[in-house]
Structure 1
Amino acid sequence: MSSKIEQIIEEIEEYIDGCKPQTLSKTNIIVNKEEIEELLRELRMKTPEEIKRYQKVLANRDAILADAQAKADAIIKEANIHTSELINEHEIMQQAYVQANEIMAAAEAEAQRKLDAATIDANNFRMQAMHYTDDMLGNLQNLIHKTMESHMAKYENMMGSLRSFSDILANNRNELAPALNEEELSDLEE
């Protein structure tokens, strides 16, 4: 992962950490849509050049396969021309058939080899691009989970403090209750 992408991810983490929690929610935060979209746009712009190259190769796969097929067709055409020339020479007709078949087999094997190599390359590029994308999505998912856990812990600490304050207030009121009851009784007796 490039350092620019890591820097943008850190900016997203800092931005999310700085967001205020939504009222009465443990997990939701208030996000400025424009700021998060700008950070995501910047992340997309910093995609490594290698991934862009893989995407171009995938987009050009048909052209690569067509080129391999055209080369194979040219080799086969050349073999057919050569075969026709050999057939015209009556004395070496059998040899011409053998050579033509060998050339055609070699041409077809070469065409198949090039086609297989192009297909393997395109599939390898596609898999590498998918692995990279999965890694990026996994990192973002981990970032979101960590942010959620961090905010959940802060929220639970705050709720614990409020419960503690509420318990202290209830105890104080309970301590005042007997004195208030005595005061009310003395007011009634008078």
Structure 2
Amino acid sequence: MTDDTLRLGRERRFLVLLGVICLALIGGALYMQVVLGEAPCPLCILQRYAFLLIAIFAFIGAAMRSRRSLTVLEALVVISALFGAAVAGHHVYTQAHPAVSCGIDVLQPIVDSLPLATVFPLGFQVDGFCSTPYPPVLGLSLAQWALVAFVLTLVLVPLGIIRNRRKSA
């Protein structure tokens, strides 16, 4: 095995771990929805889509053999995390300033018309309002935890790429 193969293997293992973590976060959100009765709002659902996209791109990237395709998939992971961070940031803002929300979520019909809402309504259909406060988990709201996860992804994926690619150059 060459040194380059080992480094790409490290990136692939990281992507698999990232994908598993994202699926676990979606599973945790479903648990809180079904068992604890916390209804998801449109921004919650969009964050689930972002986590799902990160997981899909991470798993596909982990299966890639060429450095170029791995880089493309890692870029898609970063773009998905950027989208998720923007949505989570807006969600945190909405929860901190409930007056911003008008009581009806204009995103609901749009989010409910996305394909996964009809295929898997339990996981991807809107059922609540974005300004509804739920009890914090370890001191942070779910939107804040999602923002932390997206920002960590935005930081760690490029850092891993730079670290691995610099050593192999």
TM-score, normalised by the number of residues in structure 1: 0.31
The structure whose Rg is larger is 1
- Larger RCO (CA under 8 A, 6+ residues apart): 2
**Structure having the larger proportion of residues in helix:** 1
